[in-house]
Amino acid sequence: MKIIRIILNLLLNFFVILTLLTTFTMDGLAQEQVEKSLKILKENSYFEAGVVMGSPSFFNGTIGYWFGPVGLRVSGMYSDESINGIQFNLGYKLKNNAGTFRSLGIAVGRAQDLGCDYSYLGPVYDWNYKKVFLEIGVGKVFNVKRGDFSSLPYWAIFQIGYIFRFI
């Protein structure tokens, strides 16, 4: 009976080790594939389009094009004389795969809303997870035509919405 337990214990240990080795091998192969796909997507050029809420004018259409790791995006809307704006982004891809996209960039924009008319420039961080887009940043306000930004010379750059990447 003791010999049977020893044999069963050895078989169990053998299968555990075999499972771990197989898992590590498969994980290594999967990681290699992921790294290849990341490199390919980071170097690929593609078009993107969507709808976002936030800067520069509440509801915005957005289009962009990525030239390998560097991209350009334009967001904006014109509804009437009181609410309108446009924002240009220049970005650099940090991560890009089929489901997730991250980039750092510079945004410059012009907005007219709620009695204010101003321009802004600042760094932004973009994140796109399965077409849900989020952009956050801080812009230095300049070229103020209407409104008082003396107590708050910085403006939050924020967009959230849907952007489809034509990969």
pLDDT tens digits for range 92-111? 999 888 788 899 999 999 99
Q: What is the pLDDT of residues 147-167, one digit of tens each?
A: 888 778 888 899 999 999 988
Final residue belonging to a domain, choices 43, 59, 75: 43
Q: Verify that 66 and 3 share a domain, yes or no.
A: no
Which CATH number do you get for residue 91? 2.40.160.170
Q: Verify that 59 and 27 share a domain, yes or no.
A: no
Residue 115 burial (CB count, 10 A): 9
As a whole number, mean pLDDT of residues 126-151 equals 90
**Residue range of the domain that includes 118:** 46-166
